[in-house]
Amino acid sequence: MRNEAPEQTTGPSKDSNKIYFLILVIIALLGTNAYVFLKDKKSEEKIVTLTDERSRMEIEIDRIEAELDRSKNANVNLSAELKEGQELARVKINELREQLRQGKLTEGQLARAQKEITDLRSFVSRYTADLAVLEKKNVKLTQQRDSLQTTVANINERASTLEKANTELSNKVRIAAAIKVANIAVSTVKIRNNGKESEVSRASAATRLKIRFTVAENTVAQTGLHDVFIRIIDPDGNLITSDSSALFDADGDQLQYTYKTSIEFDNSFGKLYSVDWDPAQPFKKGEYTVVLYADGYTMGKTMFQLK
């Protein structure tokens, strides 16, 4: 009886190895896919994170610029240092806007941009605080200026009032110091061939006007010579004068005069003064007016009638 060796079978073992290999390949593929998926997911999350950060930074830059714009309207005079700081801040804002607009910032660039924005925010905060201090000082200075202006206005008003009162007082003193007529009498005379005068009342006979007057007592009037200006108005209401340049000031006006003379005033009671005037033209019938002026004011006035 022959012993036969058992027959070996390799089919199932080879199939198992293939299955294991396929499983390993599948696992590897799954692992690769999972790695790629996780990597892509992280990349997407990273992109989203960077985009969100840029948006947040743009909003922050807008806020900083708005704060700068508000501070620009502050009613203060900026120092050279603050002006330079404001200009530099706006340059940096424009640079950051351009960088964010391009959208090509790396993580490192984004981090630097974030730091620059933080520094910019700190500067603007200090800048705004300095402006607030300046505004307070400006308000205080404005109040002091207004107070000084009010004080000056009050002083000027008081000075103006005093000046007005002083002017009025000076005018009163001048008026009081002006000599005035106490009594005045006017007559017309005819000069005879022998040189003697005879009083007449007819215009055709009169050749000279005689004005006699006394001066009222005046203790504040200056003693000495006083100019006396005489205006004679004819019956037609015209001033009798032979010189259109014969002018003087009286009662606030510039007037023409008929005749000018001077008298010596010594404040003597009842002292009589006499002035003679010979007309260049014959007298007319009617009423004449004679007005005397001295020291810038009317001294006295009278009228006479010729037939």
φ and ψ at residue 251, rounded to 5 degrees:
55, 35
DSSP character string of 156-222 = HHHHHHHHHHHHHHHHHHHHHHS--EEEEEEEEEEE-TTS-EEEE--TTT--EEEEEEEE---TTSP
Nearest to 183 by CA among 82, 297, 301, 81: 301
Q: Class for domain 181-306, per CATH?
A: mainly beta
Residue reference for tokens 């999972």: 34
Are 96 and 57 within 8 A, CB to CB? yes
Query: What pLDDT score does 41 carry?
Result: 47
Ordered by start, the domain boundaries in the chain are 15-138, 181-306
Query: What pLDDT score does 225 carry?
Result: 93
Please tell us whether the domain made up of 15-138 is placed in CATH 3.30.1380: no
The tens-digit pLDDT sequence of the chain (307 residues) is 444 545 444 555 656 666 666 666 666 665 565 555 445 444 444 444 456 677 777 777 777 777 767 666 655 556 566 667 667 777 777 777 777 777 656 666 666 766 776 776 777 777 777 777 777 777 777 788 888 888 888 888 888 888 888 777 777 778 888 889 999 999 999 988 887 888 899 999 999 999 999 999 988 888 999 999 999 999 999 999 888 888 999 888 999 999 999 999 998 888 999 999 999 899 999 999 999 999 999 999 999 999 9
The predicted model scores a pTM of 0.51
Those residues whose C-beta lies under 8 Å from the C-beta of residue 224, and which sit 6 or more positions away, are 264, 265
Q: CA–CA separation, 293 vs 303, rounded Å?
A: 15
